[in-house]
Amino acid sequence: MIENENISSMYARFNDIINALKTLGKVYTNHELVSKILRCLTKSWEPKVTAIEEAKDLSTLSLEDLLGSLMTHKLCMSNQERNEHKKKTMALKASKEEQSDEEMALLTKRIKKILMGKKSFSKKAIKKVQLQRRTKQRSERSCLL
């Protein structure tokens, strides 16, 4: 298979060669034809070839089924490539100024203060929840004397 060649044109060339060989008296079985097509595929098809060899019995696999599987895989690959190109990427510019350790420490303290001011992150709220759990556990305990 030539690089960037589609499956149908590869099969047309393959069929021409096989028909020419038939006229010369060389006849191949279906198993041999399937094996030859799988061997002629490029490196980019190697995972698919391995999957077909592992999942299907090559002696009973028809040439049409193989070509259908290869064409379906090619369509999935081309759709995936189109979707990857549609994704937008964003790059942020880095400033050339370096921040000092003091600035970073101040910024960290400010962020901690903001988070502690939030109810879900405050230490008081966490301690309150823990206290409620303890009192609930104590109230559930009872002595059976």
Kindly tell me if the per-residue pLDDT of 20 is higher than 90: yes
Rounded to whole angstroms, the Cα distance separating 99 from 115 reads: 22
Q: Tens of pLDDT along 49-87?
A: 888 888 888 888 888 888 888 889 888 888 887 777 666
Identify which of 55, 22, 49 has the alpha carbon closest to the alpha carbon of residue 37. Answer: 49
CB half-sphere exposure, 110, CA atoms < 13 A: 6
DSSP class of residue 96? Answer: S
The one-letter code for the residue type at 40 is: C
Provide the whole-model pTM.
Answer: 0.53
The one-letter code for the residue type at 48 is: K
DSSP class of residue 44? Answer: G
What are the structural domain ranges in the chain?
7-86, 105-140
